[in-house]
């Protein structure tokens, strides 16, 4: 019989293994793509298993063929698995070294920073969680100390720990205990991972670690300060390292990491992880964002530079970012109500105030997505109370008198100024952009989603064609603080 050459699938998925097992002994209940150490698998199934593992892992080295012995008579990758004991298939389906994409494997050689830059759903969080768990769970006893740093403590818990690809989900064996009150994970062997928020860089002063995982660093409000404090803490062991998982944005901290000779970059694409995403998700993404700047960033994982014709430059915003040290004399809430309802509708809510020198300081982007009219009105009230604001300035072009009535319904005494735009968005934004050039506007931290709109807003609007909701709210707030009475932009009070 002539032996046929066989090429393995580029991704060995758990569903494929499950389908193979059904050929032999029926469905395996509860099959999930959890991590199981490759050594444990080989040990459990012996020499034949080791040969199978070697064949299945051939793709990790980009070898197009398996050995003739393993390929003989094979028609597809599942034929290699039929006839194996279902329990062995079950274990194989949980082996992260087998099912991961080659780009999700830690780089070889010397490095300090492993930068996993990818679109949404590309598998970067899973790779980070597996890396941490593999380090922490190794050995019978361990004094390993690991830092887990996210934009907020809530993000760390919801994504890095308890998320679908978080540590607690993928750690089927040697699962760590989550100590919520102490904000840490403790493995059975004694290894500890401590949770931190990048909003509080000072919390990283004092502790020391062997390794660290930084998630969505491009969104950190105090990115440089928090990252610098972490570097001083990475001082245990002979080879301190960190993995950084993030969606790409042209922010200084990412450019700094990319230029670091100690950085190894793995660029992941959502399309490359299609087999692990909901049916139709990829098609919907391509239909909506294919060929757009946002699609190249959020789906393909590309680092897209700012538009040349945008009104704002990211490096200038970086220069104008400060830490607030004194109270403000007047605070307003700018509101851009959504044009409609739906999961993607955004109500722009931006808070700004005046300092003692008469400069405007942007305090917060409290915008909400997918809220009902009552929901976004309540969000405006929360921002008003949180910052003890003096007034709400709300655009009524989309909702007319209903906007004012809606805001009054959540708080009858809410001071609301309703404004109607009579010029286009670009013309309204130009004088506000000029204020930034003059140094008359500061940002009290990083507001990633807002700044993304600012640096992507040109004469034809945003490159994705959407409404600049957050930017509109910013324009109304700063206009009320600095431009009222000088004729720009043209608005009228109702």
- We report the CATH number of the domain holding residue 389 as 3.30.420.240
216 and 318 share one domain:
no
pTM of the model: 0.62
123 and 74 share one domain:
no
- C-alpha–C-alpha distance, residues 72 and 489, integer Å: 75
184 and 250 share one domain:
yes
pLDDT score of 486:
42
Under a CB-based contact definition with an 8 Å cutoff, are residues 217 and 191 in contact?
no
* Tens digit of each residue's pLDDT (9 = 90 or more) over 421-468: 778 888 989 999 999 999 999 999 889 889 989 998 989 888 878 889
Tell me the CB-side half-sphere exposure of residue 228, using CA atoms within 13 A. Answer: 7
Residue in the block written with tokens 């040349």: 308
Average pLDDT over residues 392-420: 83
pLDDT score of 57:
47
414 within some domain: yes
pLDDT score of 262:
95
* Averaged pLDDT of the chain: 79
Q: Which of 72-81, 160-169, 204-213, 251-260 has the lowest mean pLDDT?
A: 72-81
309 within some domain: no
Cis peptide bond upstream of 484, omega within 30 = no
42 within some domain: yes
pLDDT score of 289:
65
93 and 211 share one domain:
no
pLDDT score of 74:
39
Q: Tell me which of 70, 99, 128 is where a domain ends.
A: 99
Average pLDDT over residues 180-193: 95
Beta bridge partners, 265, equal 115
As a whole-number percent, the residues of the chain with pLDDT over 90 amount to 46
pLDDT score of 241:
97
Average pLDDT over residues 378-388: 95
191 and 220 share one domain:
yes
pLDDT score of 299:
67
CATH number of residue 268's parent domain = 3.40.50.300
| Domain limits for position 85 | 14-99
Give the count of domains, the chain. Answer: 3
Average pLDDT over residues 36-40: 41
More confident residue, 488 or 451: 451
Q: Tell me which of 99, 128, 159 is where a domain ends.
A: 99
pLDDT score of 101:
80
More confident residue, 24 or 99: 99
86 and 132 share one domain:
no
- Helix, strand and coil content of the chain, in percent to the nearest 5, comes to 40, 20, 40
395 and 257 share one domain:
no
* pLDDT of 55 above 90: no
pLDDT score of 469:
93
Q: Which of 126-140, 310-324, 465-479 has the lowest mean pLDDT?
A: 310-324
411 within some domain: yes
pLDDT score of 15:
45
The listed range with the strongest mean pLDDT (65-69, 138-142, 434-438) is 434-438
Average pLDDT over residues 390-404: 80
| 347 phi/psi in degrees, rounded to 5 | -100, 115
19 within some domain: yes
Confidence grade of residue 19 (pLDDT, cut at 50, 70, 90): very low
Structure tokens at 56: 């299945």
Confidence grade of residue 301 (pLDDT, cut at 50, 70, 90): low
335 and 270 share one domain:
no
Is residue 83 classed exposed, middle or buried when 0-12, 13-18 and 19+ CB atoms within 10 A define those classes?
Answer: exposed
Confidence grade of residue 25 (pLDDT, cut at 50, 70, 90): very low
306 within some domain: no
pLDDT score of 429:
92
Contacts of 54 (CB under 8 A, 6+ apart): 67
151 and 90 share one domain:
no
pLDDT score of 282:
67
Q: Which of 118-127, 153-162, 199-208 has the lowest mean pLDDT?
A: 118-127
4 within some domain: no
Q: Tell me which of 263, 298, 333 is where a domain ends.
A: 298
157 and 217 share one domain:
yes
* pLDDT of 115 above 90: yes
Confidence grade of residue 294 (pLDDT, cut at 50, 70, 90): low
Q: Which of 477, 219, 469 is nearest to 342 (CA)?
A: 469
Under a CB-based contact definition with an 8 Å cutoff, are residues 380 and 392 in contact?
yes
pLDDT score of 476:
94
Structure tokens at 368: 């909400």
- C-alpha–C-alpha distance, residues 75 and 145, integer Å: 47
8 within some domain: no
93 and 175 share one domain:
no
User: From the CB of residue 280, how many other CB atoms can be counted at a distance below 10 Å?
Assistant: 9
Under a CB-based contact definition with an 8 Å cutoff, are residues 189 and 174 in contact?
yes
pLDDT score of 293:
63
75 and 135 share one domain:
no
Average pLDDT over residues 239-256: 91
* pLDDT of 38 above 80: no
């Amino acid at each position: 019989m002539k032996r046929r050459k066989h090429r393995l699938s580029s991704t060995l998925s758990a569903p494929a293994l499950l389908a193979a097992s059904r050929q032999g002994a029926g469905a395996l209940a509860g099959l999930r793509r959890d991590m199981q150490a490759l050594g444990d698998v080989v040990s459990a199934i012996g020499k034949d298993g080791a040969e199978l593992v070697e064949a299945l892992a051939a793709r990790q080295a980009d070898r197009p063929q398996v050995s003739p012995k393993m390929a003989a008579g094979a028609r597809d990758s599942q034929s290699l698995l039929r006839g194996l004991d279902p329990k062995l298939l079950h274990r194989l389906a949980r082996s992260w070294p087998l099912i991961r994409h080659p780009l999700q494997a830690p780089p070889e050689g010397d490095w300090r920073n492993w930068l996993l830059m990818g679109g949404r759903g590309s598998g970067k969080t899973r790779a980070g969680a597996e890396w941490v768990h593999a380090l922490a769970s190794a050995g019978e006893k361990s004094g390993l100390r690991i830092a887990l740093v996210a934009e907020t403590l809530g993000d760390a818990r919801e994504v890095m720990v308890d998320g679908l690809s978080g540590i607690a989900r993928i750690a089927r064996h040697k699962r760590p205990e989550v100590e919520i009150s102490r904000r840490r994970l403790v493995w059975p062997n004694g290894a500890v991972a401590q949770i931190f928020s990048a909003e509080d860089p000072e919390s990283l002063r004092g502790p020391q670690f062997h390794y660290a995982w930084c998630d969505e660093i491009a969104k950190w409000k105090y990115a440089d300060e928090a990252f610098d404090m972490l570097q001083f803490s990475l001082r245990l062991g002979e080879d301190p390292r960190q993995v950084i998982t993030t969606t790409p944005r042209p922010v200084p901290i990412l450019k700094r990491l990319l230029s670091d000779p100690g950085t190894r970059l793995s660029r992941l694409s959502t399309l490359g992880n299609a087999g692990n995403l909901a049916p139709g998700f990829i098609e919907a993404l391509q239909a909506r964002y294919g060929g757009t700047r946002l699609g190249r960033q959020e789906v393909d994982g590309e680092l897209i530079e700012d538009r040349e014709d945008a009104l704002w430059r990211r490096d200038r915003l970086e220069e104008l970012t400060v830490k607030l040290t004194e109270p403000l004399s007047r605070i307003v809430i700018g509101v851009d109500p959504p044009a409609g309802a739906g999961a993607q509708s955004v109500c722009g809510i931006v808070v700004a105030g005046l300092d003692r020198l008469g400069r405007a300081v942007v305090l917060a982007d409290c915008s909400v997505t997918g809220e009902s009219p009552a929901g976004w009105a309540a969000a405006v009230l929360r921002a008003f109370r949180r910052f003890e604001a003096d007034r709400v300035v709300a655009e009524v072009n989309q909702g007319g008198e209903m906007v004012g009535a809606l805001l009054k319904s959540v708080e009858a005494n809410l001071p609301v100024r309703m404004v109607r735009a009579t010029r286009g968005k670009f013309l309204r934004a130009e004088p506000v952009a000029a204020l930034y050039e003059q140094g008359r506007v500061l940002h009290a931290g990083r507001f990633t989603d807002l700044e993304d709109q600012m640096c992507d807003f040109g004469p034809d609007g945003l490159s994705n064609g959407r409404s600049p909701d957050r930017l509109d709210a910013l324009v109304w707030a700063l206009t009320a603080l600095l431009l009222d009475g000088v004729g720009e932009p043209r608005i009228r009070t109702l």
